[in-house]
Amino acid sequence: MEAKTLANVRLAIKGLVGELREALENRDACFAIAVTDKAISEGAGCYREMEGDKIICTFEDKGLPLEVAYRIARSYILMKQRETPQKTIDTRRICGVVSKIGNDLNAIKGIKAKLTSINNATETIGSDMKTLETNIRASLDELQAIIHQGTDEE
């Protein structure tokens, strides 16, 4: 597991994958996960599998991408350890489920962007409503003043 922050540093997927390759070799590991504080790029999203034994994910969304990365990495390792000539695992089905999880995880980011847009629109609409209410009250005051002036002249 490699943890990186993007604060004041520009990380590239290619460089991070290289670090993960080295980590796998240096630690004699079966799988490597890089965790960043936010997405490296739009293309990478919050979760991305690489080369069959590496995952780059973020620690956003209450740690959900990291949890997914850990559990999927663990599943791949267990799957490799359990495959024997007598027992086969439906790897195609597993890859389908993993792909769906990755797609759903990245879809969350799109939904959050929409929510942010909705929240911004809501704030703008609220401000516009307050302005209109203020204008209406000012117009009512003006109306009352006009009527009051008309009754004073008679």
User: Which tokens is 77 given?
Assistant: 């390792």
Confidence of residue 100 (pLDDT cuts 50, 70, 90): very high
Q: Which helix (H) or strand (E) holds 38?
A: none
The gap from C-alpha 25 to its chain's centroid, in whole angstroms, comes to: 30
pLDDT beyond 70 at 21: yes
Q: pLDDT tens, 136-148?
A: 999 999 999 988 8
In single-letter form, the type of residue at position 136 comes to I
- In contact, 6 and 37? CB cutoff 8 Å: yes
Burial class (CB in 10 A: 0-12, 13-18, 19+), 153: exposed
Mean local confidence (pLDDT), 81-109: 80
Name, in order, each residue with C-beta under 8 angstroms of 29's C-beta and a sequence gap of 6 or more. Answer: 23
Strand locations in the chain (E): 2-4, 32-36, 47-50, 54-58
How many domains are there within the chain? 1
pLDDT at 31: 94
Confidence of residue 154 (pLDDT cuts 50, 70, 90): low
Q: pLDDT tens, 46-80?
A: 888 889 899 999 888 888 999 999 999 998 888 87
Greater model confidence, 23 or 43: 23
* Averaged confidence pLDDT in the chain: 86
Range of the domain at 30: 2-153
Q: pLDDT tens, 30-45?
A: 999 999 988 877 777 7
pLDDT beyond 80 at 87: no
Whether pTM > 0.85 for this model: the answer is: no
pLDDT at 85: 57
Q: Which helix (H) or strand (E) holds 112?
A: helix 91-153
In single-letter form, the type of residue at position 34 comes to A
